[in-house]
Homo-oligomer: A and B are copies of this chain.
Amino acid sequence: MIDSYLKKTEDALRKLFDEKRPLYPERLFSAMEYSVFSSGKRVRPYLMLLSADFVDVSSEKILPLAVSLELIHNYSLIHDDLPCMDDDDFRRGKTSCHKAFGEAIALLAGDALLNLAYENLFEAVKTDPDLITAASYLAKCAGAEGMIGGQAMEFSIDAFDETLITELCMKKTGALICAAALCPAFVCADREKFNALGTFASAIGLCFQLKDDLLDENKSEPKSYLGVTGKEHTADMVAKLGKIAFKALEPFENADNLRNLTEFLLNRTK
């Protein structure tokens, strides 16, 4: 990973939180901060910055989108962990938000992060109207056509076949990965790079979830890709999707950073 890109994201998140601290109720702020600054890997904003680089958009220009994307990802984790959803007591090696702050504050901290993500985008769009289309695409990826739609499938469908579970994964996990890779291309890209990033993003978005399934295989998750299609098929698909991702980038010399990230995601062990 390129440290300077990770640092830019971290600094921008910290700056936003420092600005908001005096304006928010203390306990709510603490719950939001607890969740966002908890050793998350920042894969999504990192991918967005690499993708921006690939299409010649500066990090500074894309940073508000990267920050908002990470806030959206973190709100979704808080809500996912709630007892009425996955009921997880732990997240990233520490107690989950509702275990630390109670369910009401955790629910509200999630709501507040989602809201802050968009408030932050509107502030950015005020001074940089170039970002509007990308912001609109991010909202679509986060909502009921994207991530929330995937979460809802999990709680409203009982019997999954491969097609349905693939759709669930592409929405629940893939949609925000697609937002990360494609938002910069909405700001500035030629058609060729836009299309390449589209294919690349769909492939690694799904691949990312399937790799998670494989790493998590001890957990029994009937509503997962692995649970529905089996370990061998899942491993095959990870390899195939990786190939699709690399193929999409093949024509481009300046895609080494994206290739390296893909390697990292394919070979990670946690």
Which residues of A line the B interface, CB within 8 A?
A: 20, 23-29, 32, 75, 79, 82-85, 98, 102-105, 107-108, 110-112, 114-116, 118-119, 121-123, 125-126, 129, 132-133, 135-136, 139-140, 142-145, 148-149, 151-153, 155-157
Contacts and interface: CB of A to CB of B under 8 A. Distances in A.
Contact of A155 (B108, B112, B116): B108
Contact of A123 (B98, B121, B136): B136
Contact of A143 (B112, B149, B152, B155): B112
Given A104-B155, A126-B133, 17 more contacts: A23-B145, A24-B145, A24-B149, A24-B152, A25-B144, A27-B152, A84-B102, A84-B103, A84-B104, A105-B152, A105-B155, A105-B156, A108-B155, A114-B115, A115-B142, A115-B143, A115-B144
For A20, A83, A143, the residue with the greatest tally of chain B CB atoms inside 10 Å of its CB is A143
Number of copies: 2
A177 to B, nearest CB: 17
Contacts of A75: 111
